[in-house]
Amino acid sequence: MGRTLAEKVWADHVVRHAEGEPDLLYIDLHLVHEVTSPQAFDGLRAAGRPVRRPDLTLATEDHNVPTQNIALPIADPISRAQVDALRTNCADFGVPVYSLGNIEQGIVHVVGPQLGLTQPGMTVVCGDSHTSTHGAFGALAFGIGTSEVEHVLATQTLPLKPFKTMAITVEGELPVGVSAKDITLAVIAKIGTGGGQGYVLEYRGSAIRALSMEGRMTLCNMSIEAGARAGMVAPDETTFEYLKGRPHAPEGAHWDAAVAYWRTLPTDAEATFDAEVVIDASTLSPFVTWGTNPGQGLPLTASVPSPEDARDEVDRVAIERALEYMALTPGMPLREIAVDTVFVGSCTNGRIEDLRVVADVLRGRKVAASVRMLIVPGSVRVKMQAEDEGLHSVFTDSGAEWREAGCSMCLAMNPDKLAPGERSASTSNRNFEGRQGPGGRTHLVSPAVAAATAVAGRLAAPADLTPVA
């Protein structure tokens, strides 16, 4: 009987297996940030335990950090205290940390891959649900709670029960202007925010193989929004090419040995999944959310739904509640929804490829006068790369704000927030009530749609814009 990618990675990390007990799984890479780690370090201190493998642990500051004036002390005392605590903890326990101002600083899920630390066949954890991002490399990567963070710091392992597997097969060619973000929003709209519960998703099929690593990361990032613990894509030439030459990628004979192993990882032809969803790529189009969870999404060409369209009573109540919060009327074309803020960034769409797409749309155009557009690179390296390519001039020439790296308006723990009642088109991953600031309203979109929306002042795709002369 064949095995799936996820099953192979799991099997290769079992430290101890005993009947009736969870497996003890070895963790190859533990990423840490300031919000979910302080109590874990404190727990170690209280028990007099060291960090077992500081050399497999890496911290970065992202959730709280400001994206302007980063040379000044962080103004908010709670944010500052969390960041200071991380620095002290990392110094005390010998954990490497990329602090604000460091060239390697950035969103934890952008930093790991760009350093070449995230590799196929690894187990990767972080006290953050979007750790699923790293699955794009064929790693088994998932978010954990603070007690588990402490457990991994102390033992480099976690006791875990096996997950079920679900194949998300996307065959065919994506139409022009349709991106990984649109695939993921369509998948979540199809299976629901709980549809992936208990599963590791494996994205397969020709449309997935055609995606860049950036696109695969976007896809795996949002697996958690479908309720899944993790998402994965089998490693292939695209993966190897991305990794080759990165600072932490293997070299020489190690590279050859690693690639030989990575080639054994893809799901065997005879393997079976516990569930499968099939999507025809050619039917997809730019997708946007209209409601208050990532499953409440529709093609941009559609209209705001009515509670009468609900599948059942629970759904009807959810639609009503979402329409009220989002201040939308059933039947209104989505393209007529005006926004006052556009946010490009986050671990979903804050990488260089995303910024290139945005620049391509903005080049020669202006952000609408009614719109504030924030462009926040996922890491300092992404920022530097964008500036090397001159993308930042395109952004500022069009009237967008070009900021420093961090999570920013993805969760509004720093000063970048929506005011109550403000509406955004955002390339991030969560449109929950108040996620981008209390009372703020969020429409999740792809980078291309974000950029076109900024120009049009209302939800739009690049094809809706007047061509640049």
Partner 1 sequence: MDKFTVHTGTAVPLRRSNVDTDQIIPAEYLKRITRHGFEDGLFSAWRKDPEFVLNQPRYDGATILVAGPDFGTGSSREHAVWALQDYGFAVVVSSRFADIFRGNSGKGGLLTAQVPQDEVERIWAAIEADPTAEVTVDLDRRQIRVGDLVADFDVDDYVRWRLMEGLDDIGITLKHESDITAFEESRPAYKPTTTAVN
Rounded to a whole number of angstroms, the distance between the first and last alpha carbons of the chain is 59
Between CA 112 and CA 133 the distance in angstroms is 10
Q: Which long-range contacts (CB under 8 A, 24 or more apart) does 67-73 make?
A: 67/374, 67/376, 67/403, 67/404, 67/405, 67/406, 67/408, 67/414, 67/416, 68/403, 68/404, 68/415, 70/100, 70/101, 70/404, 71/101
CB of 251 to ligand SF4, least distance (A): 30
CB of 144 to partner 1, least distance (A): 12
Angle CA 322–378–5, to nearest 5: 80
Please tell me whether residue 465 binds partner 1 under the rule CB under 8 A.
no
CB of 111 to ligand SF4, least distance (A): 10
Q: Applying CB under 8 A, what is the total number of residues that bind partner 1?
A: 46
**Of residues 69-88, which lie at the interface with partner 1 (CB under 8 A)?**
78, 81-82, 85
Residues 6+ apart with CB under 8 A from 78: none
Between CA 428 and CA 344 the distance in angstroms is 7
Residue type, 131: T
Nearer of residues 107 and 452 to ligand SF4, judged by Cβ: 107
> Which listed residue (118, 156, 223, 429) binds ligand SF4 by CB under 6 A?
429
Please tell me whether residue 346 binds ligand SF4 under the rule CB under 6 A.
yes
Q: Which does 38 bind (CB under 5 to 8 A by kind): partner 1, ligand SF4, none?
A: partner 1
Please tell me whether residue 382 binds ligand SF4 under the rule CB under 6 A.
no
* Structure tokens belonging to residue 429: 């991953």
Q: Which stretch binds partner 1 (CB under 8 A): 145-153, 302-310, 394-402, 421-429?
A: 145-153
Q: Which does 146 bind (CB under 5 to 8 A by kind): partner 1, ligand SF4, none?
A: partner 1
Please tell me whether residue 362 binds partner 1 under the rule CB under 8 A.
no
Residues 6+ apart with CB under 8 A from 141: 118, 122, 123, 124, 125, 126, 131, 132, 133, 134, 135, 220, 230
Residues 6+ apart with CB under 8 A from 18: none
> Which listed residue (234, 347, 355, 418) binds ligand SF4 by CB under 6 A?
347
**Helix crossing, 380-388 with 352-362: angle to 10°?**
40
- Per-position x/- string for 1-40, each x denoting binding to partner 1 as judged by CB under 8 A, each - no binding: --------------xx-------x-x-xx--------xx-
CB of 154 to partner 1, least distance (A): 5
Please tell me whether residue 188 binds ligand SF4 under the rule CB under 6 A.
no
CB of 467 to ligand SF4, least distance (A): 33
**Of residues 231-260, which lie at the interface with partner 1 (CB under 8 A)?**
247-250, 254-255, 257-258
Q: Which stretch binds ligand SF4 (CB under 6 A): 82-90, 201-209, 407-415, 458-466?
A: 407-415
Please tell me whether residue 314 binds partner 1 under the rule CB under 8 A.
no
Nearer of residues 122 and 425 to partner 1, judged by Cβ: 122
Between CA 278 and CA 281 the distance in angstroms is 9
Please give the sequence-ordered ranges of beta strands (E in DSSP) within 251-325, or none if there are none.
275-280, 287-289, 297-299
* Residue 439 DSSP code: T
Please tell me whether residue 208 binds ligand SF4 under the rule CB under 6 A.
no
Between CA 250 and CA 330 the distance in angstroms is 54
Structure-token match 């919060």, residue found: 325
* Structure tokens belonging to residue 253: 């004979």
Nearer of residues 266 and 437 to ligand SF4, judged by Cβ: 437
Q: Which stretch binds ligand SF4 (CB under 6 A): 78-86, 141-149, 314-322, 404-412?
A: 404-412
Residue 468, CB-side half-sphere exposure with 13 Å CA sphere: 11
Angle CA 375–381–384, to nearest 5: 70
- Beta-strand relationship, 57-60 and 97-98: parallel
> Which listed residue (411, 444, 445, 461) binds ligand SF4 by CB under 6 A?
411
Nearer of residues 267 and 427 to ligand SF4, judged by Cβ: 427
Under the rule (CB under 8 A), what is the footprint of partner 1? 15-16, 24, 26, 28-29, 38-39, 42-43, 46-47, 49, 52, 54-58, 78, 81-82, 85, 96, 116-117, 119, 122, 146-147, 150-151, 154-157, 159, 247-250, 254-255, 257-258, 261
Under the rule (CB under 6 A), what is the footprint of ligand SF4? 62-63, 107, 109, 128, 130, 346-347, 407, 410-411, 428-429
